[in-house]
Amino acid sequence: MRVLVTGGTKGIGLKIVEKFLKETDAQIHFTGRDEEAGNRITQMDSRLKFHCIDTAQREEIPKLYSLVGPVDVLILNAGICKDTLFLRMKDEDFDAVLKMNLYSPFWITKAFISDMLKKQSGSIIYLSSVSARGNAGQANYAASKAGLEAMAKSLALEIGKRNVRVNVVRPGFTDTKMTQDLPDTLKQEIMKHIPLTRMAQPEEIAEVVYHLAMNFSYVNGQVVTVDGGLTLH
């Protein structure tokens, strides 16, 4: 089996890579721009292959496909945020987030999906966010994730007959680099709304991604929320 995880150098992506390494005998390809981190991670096991590629650049995607080749499981995890209030949001902040979080998963899926369709087998997982429902200060990020969810469901409708499943995992507030720089006051405010009264650890998100990709063979076109109950409010 062959797996590709985008953004595997840190955070949730790294935990997904580690989970597949532990639970399967797959060859696991992962991407990122942090060469030092990627090379350090590959030293864990010869089944790990790192590709130091900026996947926000359209022209890099054919290179990624030529290095990786056909995969059985595709996990589109890499993402960024550039938060600010709508009235202060610059075109370049909107563009950068849409490019990384929505266009890049579209480009990568297009590159890898033909092999899955030919083989009539495969599983694709996109990483969205509870912010897809709309969130103040995240107009760009929320739009990118809502678009990603809609794209995933549309794709699931189109390719289910070829036995390729498409699902989305929608994490809540998770303890990674993405959230580490938030002001403590904001973190405490968010925490008040989480019934479990804590952030997720990245491995808790990876656990759901893994089982959804590998084991839940009749789950298709779904958005699975993993947020400690945050969105019950």
Ligand X SMILES: NC(=O)c1ccc[n+]([C@@H]2O[C@H](COP(=O)([O-])OP(=O)(O)OC[C@H]3O[C@@H](n4cnc5c(N)ncnc54)[C@H](OP(=O)(O)O)[C@@H]3O)[C@@H](O)[C@H]2O)c1
Query: Which residues contribute to the site for ligand X (CB under 6 A)?
Result: 7-13, 31-34, 37, 54-56, 77-80, 100, 127, 129, 171, 173-174, 176-179, 202
Q: How far is the CB of 52 from ligand X (least distance, A)?
A: 8
Backbone angles phi, psi at 74, to 5 degrees: -125, 120
Q: How far is the CB of 166 from ligand X (least distance, A)?
A: 16
DSSP state of 200: B
Q: How far is the CB of 151 from ligand X (least distance, A)?
A: 14
From 150, 129, 172, select the one nearest 221 (Cα to Cα): 150
41/156 with CB nearer ligand X: 41
Q: Estimate to the nearest angstrom the gap between the alpha carbon of 159 and the chain centroid.
A: 20
Chain length of the chain: 233
Determine which one of 65, 141, 210, 218 is catalytic.
141
Q: How far is the CB of 67 from ligand X (least distance, A)?
A: 14
Buried b vs exposed e over 24-38: b needs ≥16 C-beta within 10 Å?
bebbbbbbbeeeebb
Q: Is 141 a catalytic residue?
A: yes
Query: 42-50: long-range contacts at Cβ-Cβ below 8 A with a sequence spacing of 24 or more?
Result: 44/18, 45/21, 47/21, 48/17, 48/21, 50/8, 50/9
State the residue for tokens 């949730």: 12
82/162 with CB nearer ligand X: 82
Catalytic residues: 141
